[in-house]
Structure 1
Amino acid sequence: ASIKSDVATIKGDLNTLTNRISSVELRVNNLESGAVDRNERLDKLEEYMEYQAKYASELWDRIQDLENRSRRNNIRVIRVPEGTENNFSSNTVFLMGLLRDCLQLGPEISFEIERAHRSLGPKPSEGQRPRPIIACFLRFTDKSRVLNSAREMGSLSWQGEKIMVFPDMLPELAAQRHGSTPVRHKCKMLGLRYAMQYPAIFRITVAGQPRQFTDPEEALTFLQELPQAKEGRREIPAPRREEK
């Protein structure tokens, strides 16, 4: 009787253990199914986030392009003392006279400025750097003529102040173009024609054949592989720099 009782107890325990194992297996299966489902959802979410990041980057590039294009007729005039424009009827009249004086433009050269103003921000205290003047030309050709004249003169002076004239663009594009400075220096050393095209495409003309680069490192590598670079000589005669 004792043996039968023990066997019955063991059978009961085995049944209980079997039921518990079956319950654990069911829960494990549910967890595995849930994990597979979550992994699939995570994969889809990662794909969606990657698409959104790419789309946002494309939108940002388009916004920057639109803003830079909206500034194509603009220039920035740097280091003009604050308040010097107050004695004139308008900022445009003041700036047109300043540019004519600095660039030594005769009356036969005409250009029109639609509007001009100091950059946004609080007026600097005495002794601080003056805010740039931003001007919008009526015609792109007028803006290009002024920039070319400023570039040819090199150093500009107005009422004892050294001023500078630059095209107006977003800081991101300005930094991108600034990265091509070593390429410009190398082109000057080799006497090659070069030009910076919008937005930041560097064009080099070698033996009458133009080459375009968007990566300054790639452009430098190309220049270093030229025969005249290896021989340490310049093109003769050295052509003038091309304008964009």
Structure 2
Amino acid sequence: MDKFVHKGPQGPAVSGLHASPAPSGPPRPPTPQHETTNGASISAAMEVTGSQLLFSQLAESPGLGVQLSDAMAAGPSVGGLPAHPDLQALAAALVSLITPTIQKTLENTIRDTLTQIRTDLGAQEGRIGEMEHRIVALEDENSGLATKLRQMDTDLCYVSGKLEDLENRSRRSNLRLVGVTESLLPADLQDFCKSDLPKALGLPHKCRVERAHRIGKLPDRNVASKAGVDSHPRQVIFKLLDYNDKVSILRAFRKRTTPLTFRNKKMLIFEDFSADVAKRRKAFSNVCTALYNAKRRFQLQYPATLKVHMPDGSFRSYQTPSAAEAELRDVLADHQRHPRHSPARQDPSRDQGPLAQRPARRKEGRDRSPAEGRKRKKSPKRRSRSRSSRSSSPD
């Protein structure tokens, strides 16, 4: 019996189990991880702790080691385990000795792990709370900025409308002429708008014009030489000193049954508006052309409202071209089936209006040849000589 048990420096040990010497002191639990602990780490900790506790119990109880050595030495083994009748009782005693220590060690390990998890969760809760406070502050600030932005948008629309209205009011006394040939020099534009245009429209008096000039870019010389200088003349804009003169000119132009021509070119008269209003009014051009060809009365009121007179005496107003096209589809379809031909172009030889009689002013010193200049200079002298000869001749 003594050959199976020997005492070492740390106490009795079991030689028949082929085990390493038991570590000194109480068993130390494995160090828990800092962040996370899963099931695999806990199982490994249980295995290491169980083996350490087994050897520590054997070292502390010499009689348990002797009984286990006798059980292993007696008789053959079955399935790798010694077939001793007291083996089950021995295993139960071993389990009863090891279980409390293992349970205590696992409790300490799990407690430390849970404490670390609670600490991390507390830190995360603090961060999440701070983020919530910041988000609430940003939402409050954003709601205030959104209110200010809406107010600024409303103010901007109001100011833009006022600015557009002021611009159109400043253009209230302006008129535009389309189709005036470039042969009419800039120096003659004001006189043309002051006297010739009212006379051609049948007005009994002249109009007071403050200023008249052309607008747009000068045509290219190469393009003008190929297509003709008067193929696309620039528009003429002039400002009247009296608003009633503008109304009289527009009324007389709209009452005309024949086209107004200047030097065998058709001329049109329009009101002057801002760029935005002109763009909105231009969108109604197709509808207005169809109504004109269908002989329907209509008015394009300021700023861009189409007023159509119906056969029953009523009228309808449209703010957008799409709405007008949708409701006047029958009129437009009838115009497409039976288009109205434009009146034949008037014979230039029969155009005896006052605008056609105005000759083109020639620039002095450019289009006149030297011979013509000499002849014009000599003609007064000849006349003076003939008069002197007549006065000197006897009766």
Give the TM-score normalised by structure 1. 0.73
Aligned to 1:93: 191
Distance in 2 (alpha carbons) for counterparts of 1:153 and 1:70: 31
Structure 1 residues 100 and 188: CA distance shift in structure 2, 3 A: closer
Instruction: Name which of 49, 55, 61 aligns with 2:155.
Output: 55
Is 1:164 aligned with 2:268?
A: yes
Instruction: Name which of 193, 198, 215 aligns with 2:302.
Output: 198
Structure 1 residues 42 and 74: CA distance shift in structure 2, 3 A: same
Distance in 2 (alpha carbons) for counterparts of 1:205 and 1:85: 42
Whether the 8 Å contact between 1:98 and 1:158 is mirrored in structure 2 is no
Structure 1 residue 38, shift from structure 2 partner? 2.0
Aligned to 2:279: 175
Structure 1 residue 81, shift from structure 2 partner? 4.1
Q: Deviations over 1:22-61 (max 9, x none)?
A: 0101101211232233233333333332332232223212
Aligned to 1:184: 288
Distance in 2 (alpha carbons) for counterparts of 1:69 and 1:87: 27
Distance in 1 (alpha carbons) for counterparts of 2:258 and 2:144: 57
Letter in 2 for 1:203: K
Aligned to 1:136: 239
Distance in 1 (alpha carbons) for counterparts of 2:106 and 2:128: 32
32-41 vs 71-80, which moves further:
32-41
Give the fraction of aligned pairs with identical amino acids, expressed as a percent: 25
SS in 2 for 1:110: coil
Instruction: Name which of 212, 233, 243 aligns with 2:317.
Output: 212
Distance in 2 (alpha carbons) for counterparts of 1:117 and 1:188: 30
Aligned to 1:117: 213
Is 1:17 aligned with 2:122?
A: no
Whether the 8 Å contact between 2:195 and 2:207 is mirrored in structure 1 is no
Whether the 8 Å contact between 1:85 and 1:94 is mirrored in structure 2 is no
Structure 1 residue 93, shift from structure 2 partner? 1.8
Aligned to 1:239: none
SS in 2 for 1:77: strand
Distance in 1 (alpha carbons) for counterparts of 2:141 and 2:124: 25
SS in 1 for 2:308: strand
Aligned to 1:68: 168
Structure 1 residue 186, shift from structure 2 partner? 4.9
1:33-48 alignment, distance < 5 Å: 33-48=133-148
Letter in 1 for 2:202: L
* Max Rg structure: 2
SS in 2 for 1:114: strand
Whether the 8 Å contact between 2:201 and 2:249 is mirrored in structure 1 is no
Instruction: Name which of 237, 248, 252 aligns with 1:145.
Output: 248
Structure 1 residue 150, shift from structure 2 partner? 3.4
Whether the 8 Å contact between 1:156 and 1:162 is mirrored in structure 2 is yes
Structure 1 residues 158 and 191: CA distance shift in structure 2, 3 A: closer
Distance in 1 (alpha carbons) for counterparts of 2:285 and 2:212: 29
75-84 vs 109-118, which moves further:
75-84
Distance in 1 (alpha carbons) for counterparts of 2:278 and 2:265: 24
Distance in 2 (alpha carbons) for counterparts of 1:123 and 1:191: 37
Letter in 1 for 2:242: R
Letter in 2 for 1:195: Q
Structure 1 residues 98 and 179: CA distance shift in structure 2, 3 A: same
Q: Structure 2 unaligned runs (5+)?
A: 1-25, 28-100, 338-395
Whether the 8 Å contact between 1:186 and 1:223 is mirrored in structure 2 is no
Structure 1 residues 225 and 32: CA distance shift in structure 2, 3 A: farther
Structure 1 residues 161 and 183: CA distance shift in structure 2, 3 A: closer
Structure 1 residue 195, shift from structure 2 partner? 1.6
Whether the 8 Å contact between 2:305 and 2:317 is mirrored in structure 1 is yes
Aligned to 2:202: 105
Structure 1 residues 86 and 37: CA distance shift in structure 2, 3 A: closer
Q: Structure 1 unaligned runs (5+)?
A: 233-244
Whether the 8 Å contact between 1:156 and 1:164 is mirrored in structure 2 is yes
Structure 1 residue 179, shift from structure 2 partner? 2.4
Give the TM-score normalised by structure 2. 0.48
66-75 vs 212-221, which moves further:
212-221
